[in-house]
Each structure stands twice: as structure tokens, then as C-alpha cells.
Structure 1
């Protein structure tokens, strides 16, 4: 610390240099131990030179009589509490030169830290709370080398903490007893001086109070006593005297907390559930005359306003409340069974109440009889309102679609036409089911080049729209592109500018052999994809051209008179199959123009005799597998058998396909994934996706029926399931099944003879 004469000014040349004669200018650090064996650089705090509190001797014990327990254990959770105040100067407040602020001073015995807290006072205008956080506080200069201790705090003393002087006026009971046991006398509490600032504020607050007493009633007690208590009544409002009126079943609720009423109408169709709010919650007046005027619920009535300027304006309040209207509202005393409530001109009759309401009236008013009333029935049947007829709309003007024009004529505000959302959800794409029927078509035109063009016509079942796409051939002069964008296509031969909506193509117009005129272009449907044919067959009730039952009934009707001649002429001699073209030519002659190409396609698909022979059977797959094992020198069949037996805990001799696949991959067989799948496909199974692993072991054993080596093949390509193209169904027709479905087998046997019957029994169709 610097030593100087207090009479001299604090200016350069009038002070003494404190560093004269000093040779060490460091912070006096020293290495110390933190814990056992942990060195750390610690700055030692100077000992308290004035008070007895030091590192060796506590302040309350004489030298040589210190306790063995450390202070932070002996005085844990113990503190001294002092009451005090400090004076704060006020410069901006007129009439009060200073302010008295009361505080609480806490001295923690365990470590000698001090905390100062100012209790919060409502509407004080200053920030209150913790003024000085808990910490050890030094004496003011020039004694700042030492810290405050318990002997520095007592009633009547003044302490300076960070430049602010606190006057101690009292302490609590524990502090007084503690200091007395330590030999420190504690004076009696002293009174804090009056606060002139608070006195002025109190005087101003009293002067601002209204001269008129407060007229608002305190309803908090009633709310706390009756919160969530509701009286439930059942009632009705008979509105049958008006046109289309009926009996309204109502639910009447009275809230005891604030005397408000809420009415809900019950819906009979939903089992008595509240449908909508009949009366919003609020107080219900007994007599209703007119809408309330503005300010009817004000606490004061202004009689006159005096003064012209805003600063000097005054007003006179009516002390007698001559203009106040006393409105009589419904209370709990007015509610009972058979009571008639006037709800803004509607007479509501209460018919019944719940158990809580009965118990409430029985306890408070002594009412014991609660007889329910009967709700009246309808006096007359409700008249059925006739549905309005279709509006006569003006003719279509040619702008936009017909639906848009019709929608704009119905409403003044333009709205988009409503779509069939249920149909969209029913026929929307789901997985591989696209609900799109695709047909191959050719154009009929007088221009020869147009007749060779190939088109794909797609019909979307979700919204009955069509799209035409052209697939151009090389060097044809045309390009592959969209011929017609997706939209609804109108049927030809209709009037354009009419008020009625035009007829459009439906799914029933789409079949093989049909002729479609789309925007004055004529198309002939030549073929359909597999999805379209199968979808039409599965939904044969909607597509007559794909209904095999209707088609065969029509064929049976035509062939019944000439069946013998027809069978005798078309009997196959070598195999019991007949070609598509041959049967089609015969049926077209007999059926005439009533027989379409799609019906013939349906017959050929229903009685198809095309046989399918896989390129790789069991023997070829085994030869490929043994060749791969030989190439990679794999010979660990015993371990494979051991793993398969380990998987089969029940010794059933069967394992699932997944477990067999896992074992084959785990044993590191030199097989590709496609080859493993084909091996598991040809292994014997029980029909429930369980494979006999003994057959799998024999399949991979070279000693059992050895197979010759085969040249290597591209397994990934040749064994892929999509590499073998299935033959088109309907190229060959099973003649025997076709006649059997016609249900004329006896005539058929007489006509074809014994040799053909044997051939039918031993038929082997060829692709």
C-alpha cells in the first residue's frame, strides 16, 4: 500500500514510491499439494493480521485449544444473520434527499464468506434481491490486506462493504446466542430511521385513492368454493308451430362459480351427443327487451365534462347512479323441473336433471321430489322438400372445358369443378396395380403413310381420361412423341354448343377390334397388354367382351344347330389342339359381325394349350452346380451336412428355404446368388416352403449319380428369372377343353371316334 500524507494533494511529486527498497516484485507463488501426490501452483492468501482468524487458529478458540475438527465441518450450514440498512442519496426526487434501504447480512461460519440481500418490496421502483454475492470481503483501504470476521459484525456497528456503509440494527436468535457464547456482548436491537421517500409515496398513494367507494363485488370466494360445480338439466324447446319446426332436445348447464348458463342442442341421430351450441355461456336475463346500449355495464355514469383543453379537463360522476339499469338474471333458485326459462323469446321447459343436481337442491333447499316430465312428440310429419330440378344452363361457348363453364354458371364466385374423389381412391395406382388399360392401335386414313403408324392408347380408370402416344419406326418420317395429351375424349357425332354435358368414352368402349374416333382421327385397337387383358377378365362383370361365360353362351347358341358339322370339319388329327387362326376363321363365319376380336382373344386365353418347357431343368442345374464345385475345388460336404443337422433341432429332415440359403452362404459354396436360388427351387419340398435337406446333400454329392461337366455359362444372365421369355398365351387352343365347356361331350365323342379319344387322353402339347 502507498504511504502518503493526507494533507498533501494526490498528485505526482506529493506521494511516496512504495517500491523504494523492495527487491522482490513477484506474486509469492509456491508449489503445494492438492490431494495426495498432486502438485499445483497455488497463491497463498495473506493471513488476517487484525482478527484472530488464521490458517492455524480459529477466531473463537484461544491459542493451543483449537479443535481437531476443521471449521468447514464444525460450522457446516451455520450462518449469522444481521438486519441492517444503508442510506442512498436521491437527486432526482423532489422533497426527499435520501432513501433508506433495509438489507439482510449473512455471515457463513464455515468459510467466513458474506452475502448481502435486500428483501423485495412490491412497487419499490428499485432493483432488489442479492446486492453482494457470497464471498470473502476485504476491509476498505488502507486495511484491505485483511478480511471481515465475526468480531466485526455486531448490533449498532457500521461496516463498509465495497464502498457502501451498512448500519446493523439487529440479528436473529441464533446469532445472538452464538456471539454470547463466544464472549461477544450483543446490544439490544435499534430502530431503523424513517424513510422520507416511502412516506412521500404513501402520502401520494392515499391522495390518489378515489373519493367514491369501490362498487365492485369480490367474487373470488364464490369462485373458489364452487369451481367445477355444474347443475345439469334436460329440456326441450317446442318449435313445431313454425314452418319446418320440430322439438329441440336441449342440455341446460348452470355454472355455480359465476352464475352463467350454457345450452347445447342434442342430436338424436348420434345417440344424444351435443350437436352445436344453442346458447353461448353467459348470464341469461329474465326479461329481454332490446340490445344493450354501449356503456350499460360501466361502474360510473358521467354527467358532464368541464374544461376545453386536455390538461385541464374535468368530469362529474353521478353519485346516485340514476342511469344504472338493474337487470334481473336467472339464478339457481329459478331452476327446477317443469320450470319455463325465457331464453331470448324461446320458451325452454326443463324436464329432468342429473344426480349431482338432485343432491345439491336436496342439501341446500330441502327439495326431495324430482319427477321427470315427458317430452312431447311431433304434431305433424316433416314435409319433404322436393329436390330441385336440373338447372337450364346456357350453351357452352367453346372456352375451357364443359365442366368449368358449367361451374361458373352455377355460382357467382368461380370454383373448380368437383372430381369424383372416391373413384380416384378406388382406382389410384397401388403397387403393381396401375389401373391403366393400354392398347396397341393403328390409324385408318386415306394417306398410306398414316396406316403404318403405331400408337399406344392408354385409358386411365381413375378419372376416365385417355392419352395417345405414338411409337415411330426408323426412317418413317415421324417421331416418337405424345399424339394426344391426357384428357377426356368425347364420343363422335354429338352437338358441341349445348348446355348438357357431352358423352365421353368409357372403359366398355375399349376392347381389341374396336374402332375409336378421337378428335376426328380413326384408330383401330389391334392388341392389349397383359395387364389390360387380365384386369378385364378379373372384372368380367364390367367388361362383357372379357366375360368367358357370356361369350361361350353366345357361341353355344350359334353352334347348337350345326355342332356336328362344325366338329367333324375341325377335328385335329395328330394332337388335340387347334391353332388360333384356324378356330378364329371358323367362328367368324358362324358368328358373323356380332363376334369381336377381343372375344376371340378371351376364348384363346381361357382354353390355351401352350406348354412351357424351361431351358434349365433339375439335371442341367445340378450339372452346373457340380461343375462349379469342381472348378473351385470345394469338397466340404460333411461340414455342410453337419450345419444342416445343427439347424434341424427336431430332426424332421426339413428346413425352411431361408435357413437353407443361410447355410449355403455360410459354408462358402462357390455359387452365385442366382444359382443358389435355382438350386433351392428344384430341391424337393413338402409344399409349405420347407426343403428336404437330404435331397440337397445328394444334389451336391458327386458320388451320387455323377454328371458330366458342362461348359461355363453366364449364370447371372441365363439363370435370371426374366431371361426366359414365356410364350404368348392363346397361340394354340385346347380343343378338348373348348368342347367340354360347351357341354356337348356325347356328340363330340360320336363324331371324333375312338382313335381321337385315345389321342386326347395322351395329349402332349407342343409349343
Structure 2
């Protein structure tokens, strides 16, 4: 072995080498720089430690001598005379043909970039702590990257397997059992076992690109094999045998199969009967998961209405209540299952018809595609036909205002005003009639008629009671006043406050009230279940009726005249002045 020598010819050994103490620079020269934002390489001009390069140290004579030397070829040295003849011939002959263009060199990592061989394989894994299975078959996919001869193995994800799946072996060169050797694509084929880190992967199938690549490289692939199926997974898919009668109702079936499935209807809400109301477009959502209904308004820009997002929140709508559980009002939100006999279902929403939800009427004129498919599959007998909605919508045909029945609170006029507006206003009065008939009152003397089931003692007491019936012509009201009598057992005073009295056997919705034409002497007046008989009146009533002959019939006026005539005759007989 030749020893290295220093510049002085001494062996390069400890103790024989000497350092230049005057040398201060030991760095390598800079060969990389940036010009206009680009990295540029330039040849070095100085060596390590700013020493001149070897090419600079060579003498000019050595360079000239190297230029004069002729290279030796395989067939000997060229003759100088032959070279001169070739040079002279070149001036008199045709120009030499051009050299053919060489093909550009393309490295393998460029041509094989993103070209991957794909193999499907499986391996068996022993199960120790299980009574139901001894081993399991696990499927994997082997990828071979032709770019750098690396491989990786991934396991497809299987739901509810209980095992960690995904990337099994990262991308690298898979080693063989022999030290220093790695697997190559030439070692891969179908039907063979690939031993990687003690696990044998049996290659069964490959894709079309892998098959075509192998055939072009002259490798004959074996026949593909079927991927085996794990017996335990197949056994788990089979229905579990049961020995009890299964329930016909599955409480979770509707939740698992109908979740996120919503029927959407486009409807019109007729709110024109209310104060400043109109017909508004709404969207009705029916949630199949729990049979709840939600209604949203379709707002338009610059409509002048408050942007309420929800007209009715999501809840179950009762369709029919159980007997004895009818409530007022009918839109109570606290109805329980024990009170409701039937709720709204999808069959109650028919496109093209009117549906009443919590007292409001909605016209369903269209629905979305999912709703049409749902009714076509589950309710084939129902026809879904959309309705053309006019641009200028008026009131629905056939819709009339329904006045609820009288509930017994307040007067009929006051109860009616509460149905016409949200803030009830006082009923209108005939002001002209009130001004003309102010302080005009017709008074009658009345007696109480006992009930037919009353005792004889009660009859005698009622016969002694005297009432004054006053009829006010300004507003057609009636009041009753009982004259107090000492030691009678009755307090006396106001018996009935001033109010309008309807006649018996008339409907509450369209009542007929008492008028002066009904107050004749001897007539019986029914005041809210109490019957009174008119016995006498004053002279003002007779004069008023004679001044207004068209106000009362002649029979009523004649009874009053007869009453005063009999009193006049009776007083004349007793030589008493008339009252």
C-alpha cells in the first residue's frame, strides 16, 4: 500500500507533517450564488484555504506538451501525413454530412412516476381467546411503486370489525429473508406467498394495469384466485335464532329508517278574514321520524311584515280527541297521549285539498319530488296533482266566517266583538235613537208567577211581591225593581240590572228581544227563566203609544185603554177624582 506524501516528500504520518503557521483561511470556496432571484452555479477560482487550484499551478510547457501528444486508438496511432491529406481533401470535397440527433435522456424516476402495481392478497390470523372462532381471514391490498421499488400494505376498512385497520405497513423496501436483498416486481406473481416480517400474504388478484405491465415485461401471471370470506363474519350476518314471538311493533324502526326524511308541502294560508289580513304562502314540513309538523312562512323582500321564521313550531297535531276530553280552545298545546285518539299522519295531507291545522286552513297546492316518490311508494291510491296558483290571490271559494257559539260571558254584542278582532271594541250604538229617546221610559207594574212545582206557602209569598218593569226606549233595555215590603222575607231593591232581554224559545245566535209591542196588560214576560205578569202601567205609557200608533199593535194599545177605563169607572162610582 502506497503511503501518502506531503509537499516536501515526507510520509504523511504524525510527527512528519508540518503546518504552515502563516495560513489563516481553511474554508472551501463559495460556488453557489443568487442572480435575479435564481440560484446560479459558478466554477471555483480558488481552492481550500484560498490556495491556487491545481490547474493554475501547471506550467505552460506541460500544457503545450499535452496538446502535442496524439491519443492512441485501438488500431494504432494515426499517421501525420494521413491527417494532412484528410485536411487538404476537406477543402475540395463536399461538406461532411451532419451528425444524427441523439434522443434526449429521460431518467427512470420520471418515466415510472405515479405508476403503481396493485395486488389483492389476504392472510390468516389465529384467534386465541375466543370460543366462536379459531382464525380470521383479513384482506389487504399490496401496492408496488415502480418509481423507487418501494411497497406498502393497507387493509380496507370493514364496519363493526373490532380491529385496527387502515395502513398496515408504510411505504419502504420490503426485505427478503436473505440479508441485504429486497423484493422486486419480478418476484411478484399471483398464487404465491409473500413473506414480510414473518407474515405470509397470499396474493390472489391484481388490477388490469398490473396484468398488462407484467405481460409486457415477459412475466406470465398465474390464474387469479377467489378471495376467501371469513366464516365468522358470514355467521354473524345470519339472523340469530329466537325462541320467543317477536314483537310486531319496533320502537326504533321509525327512528332508524325515517331519520332525516321530511315531507315538504307548499301551501297557502288564508288570513284575509282577520284585520289587515291576507293570503300568505307557507311551507309545511312533516317529519317522518316522529310524525311532527312544522309550518314556516315564505317571506318576500320589502313585504312590510315581521320576519318570523316559524309560524308553528314542530309538534304533533291532534286530529281527533277522545270522548270527554274536548277542550276550549281547541288549539291547546298540552294535549297528552291519553287525551288524543288520533294524530295527523301523511295520509291526511292531500295535495290539491284544504287541511285544517289548529284552527287555520291551508290549501296544499304543490310538493317536492321526494314527497311525490314517498306517496307513490307508500300511498299509491292517493293522486298527487299540483294546482296552479294565481299571481293575485283572493279569498278561497266557499270559505265563510264561522262565529263560535255564545259562551255565556257578557252580552251577545260583547262576545261577538271578541270574535271579530284581537282587541275587542265596544259595539256600535244608534246614537240618533239614543238622543231622540233620552229619558223616555215605559213603566209597568208586574207580579211574579210562581213555579209550578212551588209550594202553597211559596205561592202566597210570591203573590205579595210587587215589581216595577222599566223599558228604556233609548237602547231597548229592561230593568226590574222590587218594592221593599216590611217583614216580607225579601230584601227588595234592584232585581235585574239594565239589559236587553231575549224572548224564550229563540236561538242564541239570532235572538229576538222584547219590545213595547209585547208589553200588554195581562201579558206574561219571561225574563231569564223568571215569569212576570203585567198588571198595570202609568198614563205616560198610554199617551206615548197614542202619539206613536205605528209602534205597537192595536190589541196592545186596547188593553191599556181598557185598564184605564175600568179604573176611571171604578173611581167614578166611588166619587173619587181620577188619578
| TM-score band, normalised by shorter chain | 0.3 to 0.5
So what's the TM-score if we normalise by structure 1? 0.30
RCO comparison, higher one (Cα < 8 Å, 6+): 1
TM-score when normalising by structure 2? 0.38
Give 1 or 2 for the bigger CA radius of gyration: 2
Higher relative helix content: 1
